[in-house]
């Protein structure tokens, strides 16, 4: 008899306890789910997020992306040098106009050349031929003069011809000029850099 009373007590504790707990449930005990009717039964329905499947780029676009990336990298690397060159040329031209004779001009140019070599020499030597071509275009954009004329003006016609020959053998041309239409991709990247720096300065 005592055994059955223990069983009864146990059942009361289990079922009675469960019933008591069930009565204490709140809205937070339930996770609402959307449902759909399927074969006469309500079943939970979960909408998965959209997944975008993109095919590989065509070969033509892959090449175009590689070309653009290479150009963008070259402009980002060389544009600061073009700005420096433009500022330096303006400063040099202003100073040369005030010097009394050819000897003073020569000494001044030699000092400037030494200064620039110490500041930028190693960095400029690390530029690739392609980056060098982009730099020549950007210098023309900033100064209005091509590199051949700048060298001729500052170092003489002989030096300009020598460096033009060197440029020729690596596929370059010191007389390269910037064309706003032909070089519209470069212009877009330059504008991107300018916007970035203006926003950075503003913030």
Integer-rounded Cα radius of gyration of the chain: 38
Query: What residue ranges do the domains of the chain occupy?
Result: 79-202
Nearest by Cα to 165 from 179, 151, 153: 151
Per-residue pLDDT band for 202 (boundaries 50, 70, 90) equals: low
What's the confidence (pLDDT) of residue 28? Answer: 60
Nearest by Cα to 87 from 64, 106, 66, 112: 112
| Helix segments in 12-128, DSSP class H | 17-23, 59-96, 102-125
Q: Is the pTM of this model over 0.85?
A: no
DSSP label of 145: S
Q: How many residues does the chain have?
A: 203
Is residue 72 scored above 50 in pLDDT? Answer: yes
Is residue 162 scored above 90 in pLDDT? Answer: no
Asked whether 69 and 185 are in contact (CB, 8 A), the reply is no
How many angstroms separate the CA atoms of 76 and 64, rounded?
18
């Amino acid at each position: 008899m005592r055994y059955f009373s223990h069983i009864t007590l146990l059942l009361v504790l289990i079922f009675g306890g469960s019933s008591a707990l069930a009565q204490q449930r709140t809205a937070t005990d339930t996770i609402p789910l959307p449902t759909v009717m399927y074969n006469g039964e309500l079943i939970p329905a979960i909408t998965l997020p959209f997944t975008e499947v993109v095919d590989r780029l065509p070969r033509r676009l892959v090449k175009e992306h590689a070309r653009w990336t290479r150009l963008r990298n070259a402009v980002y690397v060389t544009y600061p040098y073009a700005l420096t060159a433009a500022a330096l040329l303006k400063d040099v031209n202003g100073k040369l106009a005030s010097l009394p004779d050819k000897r003073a001009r020569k000494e001044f140019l030699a000092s400037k050349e030494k200064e620039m070599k110490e500041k930028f020499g190693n960095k400029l030597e690390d530029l690739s031929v392609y980056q060098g071509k982009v730099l020549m275009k950007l210098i023309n954009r900033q100064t209005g003069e091509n590199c051949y004329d700048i060298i001729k003006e500052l170092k003489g016609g002989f030096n300009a011809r020598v460096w033009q020959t060197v440029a020729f053998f690596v596929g370059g041309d010191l007389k390269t000029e910037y064309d706003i239409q032909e070089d519209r991709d470069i212009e877009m990247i330059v504008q991107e850099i300018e916007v970035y720096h203006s926003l950075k300065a503003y913030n």
